[in-house]
Amino acid sequence: MTAETAETAETADGPARVPLSGAEFQTEPAVLYRRMRQEHGTVAPVVLDGDVPAWLVLGYHELHQVTGDPVLFSRDSDLWSEWDRIPEDWPLRPMIGHKQPSILYTVGERHRERAAMVSNALGAVAPTELRLHAERFADELIDAFCARGSADLVGDYAMLLPVRVLARLYGFSDGQGPGLVSAMNDMIDGQDRAMAGMMHLGASMQSLLADKHAVPGDDVVSRMLADTSGFTDEEVAQDLMVMMAAGHQPTADWIGNSLRLMLTDNRFAASLFGGRNSVAEAMNEVLWEDTPTQNVAGRWASRDTRLGNRHIRAGDMLLLGLAAANSDPRVRTDGAALTGGNNAFFSFGHGEHRCPFPAQEIAEVVARTAIEVVLDRLPDIDLDTPAETLSRRPSPWLRGLTELPVRFTPTPTLGGTTR
């Protein structure tokens, strides 16, 4: 038996593939990725819900190769060889996309034009306006619980803040925020309500487009509709869904994961008592060690090739293991935590389909503002449960806390006054 035949026998058998789910995946993914790398190398055979096969790219250099070659490793999901066995109600379908006219699955020159439209619309957001919105909504959310001396900084705060800021920037009314965040959480978690969440988000975007066609404003959606590249309303609506989902949930998890680090690691204790110097370092470390976006689906091989000593067939799906690549021992030789501003992480992707720079800047401003307002408003904040009891949401894509209970000395509300 040749080496390639042996490899085929190994990966053709379902049990040989590693399930991208389960208790270990939720509690100790770094341990799981390390074992996968030891047993399978830098490209591992995995199986998704419904026994759907894929490859998880674990290696830093291999991930750089995949994201840097959009022709061989295409973003065109129509290439996937498994579509004929994927049911319409597959829970992960919203995160994969089929015949979906969004920026995620557009390739070539049309993708570059589309990326420019999105970047221009987001880049026109004034930094001062963005921070003022973030501070105002953060204060409103904290006002709802500051007098009682306890809160869940995930459910009461982090999961509500980014979508409120983004909704304002896009042109939604403030009252539509809670429905949008519920729909996006359902869609991203990939469980029973995933399809319902996607439908709610789509209907909301279509309604917003109609409103902005009738009465344009100084907002992201109006700027996208005014773009002269000739995109249809359906294409713009799809891009708005992508932007909203990608802008809200990872930012919420960035806030939650950073606050968890600062509340459980003595290196950041000074920031919890009146200082801000370590906020940026904690946020940077999270992008390396506890990145909100763990895995991304995906890329599809346009022809047979080899990657990480694996035979990849045309039509195979590759999942981008961002968290695993960030911890690749070939680039993290000393294993030390990175807090010194090194931003060579994959947390925002790489290549043509990476997160647009204006979107990264918006996420960073919202996340940092959220953390700083908490530190300003809540004195002597402390974790209200043992750190080891904190749990994560059951998502193969994003790594975020289900809750972050804290206690603090009760403080008065601001009631709309300026801090």
More confident residue, 346 or 125: 125
Instruction: Inform me whether the pLDDT recorded for 242 exceeds 80.
Output: yes
Q: What is the pLDDT of residue 7?
A: 41
279-293 pLDDT, tens digit each: 888 999 999 889 999
Instruction: Inform me whether the pLDDT recorded for 13 exceeds 60.
Output: no
Distance (Å, whole) CA 269 – CA 114: 43
Highest mean pLDDT among 33-42, 145-154, 385-394: 145-154
**Average pLDDT value for residue range 115-119:** 92
C-alpha R_g of the chain: 21
Backbone angles phi, psi at 307, to 5 degrees: -150, 125
The DSSP bridge partners found for residue 46 are 18, 54
**Average pLDDT value for residue range 397-408:** 93
8 A C-beta contact, residue 107 and residue 128: no
Let me know if 174 is exposed, middle or buried by CB neighbors in 10 A (0-12, 13-18, 19+).
exposed
Alpha helices for 57-107 (secondary structure H)? 60-67, 93-96
Residue 7 backbone zone (phi > 0: left; psi -120 to 50: alpha; other: beta): alpha
Nearest-10 Cα torsion for 397, 403, 404, 406? 170
225-241 pLDDT, tens digit each: 998 788 899 889 989 98
| Average pLDDT value for the chain | 86
